[in-house]
Amino acid sequence: MKRIVVLAMVATLMAGCSSVGSLRNSKPTAAYEGSGSVGDIASCISGAWGSKPVHLVSYQEYTGTSIEIHQTEDGPAVALVDIKPVSARTVATYYSNFDEDDSWYFQEVERCVDTTLPHE
């Protein structure tokens, strides 16, 4: 029985990884560039998206921050945003595989990139 549970957990984790990988291998839904810091833009996006009934997972990476949207706690990622510094700017790239209209999510990414001021 333990072996079945472990196999089910591994399969679930692998499905999550493959959904994120397939999202990043697809054409981005939207990309925005601004002057705010990665941390400030990520915080703004997390706050906005957190107001919706979805599960968010955030990863701090060497190259920036990624925030994933999962429709259920154990479900695969249906959208994500990668926020990275590029030269003196910050770029937020949104990828989606939502089954429904998700324009609100990427409009919030745009709003956060546009309204977040650089750290002084």
Q: What is the pLDDT of residues 19-65, one digit of tens each?
A: 677 888 889 999 999 999 999 999 999 999 999 999 999 999 888 99
pLDDT, tens only, 72-104: 888 999 999 999 999 999 999 999 998 889 999
Comparing C-alpha atoms, which of 92, 80, 28, 29 is closest to residue 55? Answer: 80
What SS3 state is found at 97?
Answer: coil
Distance CA 80, CA 96 (A): 7
5 pLDDT exceeds 50?
no
Bigger pLDDT: 9 or 71? 71
Distance CA 46, CA 40 (A): 10
Question: Alpha carbon 40 to chain centroid distance?
Answer: 15
- On the 0-12 / 13-18 / 19+ scale of CB atoms within 10 A, 67 is buried
- In the chain, the percentage of residues whose pLDDT exceeds 70 is 81
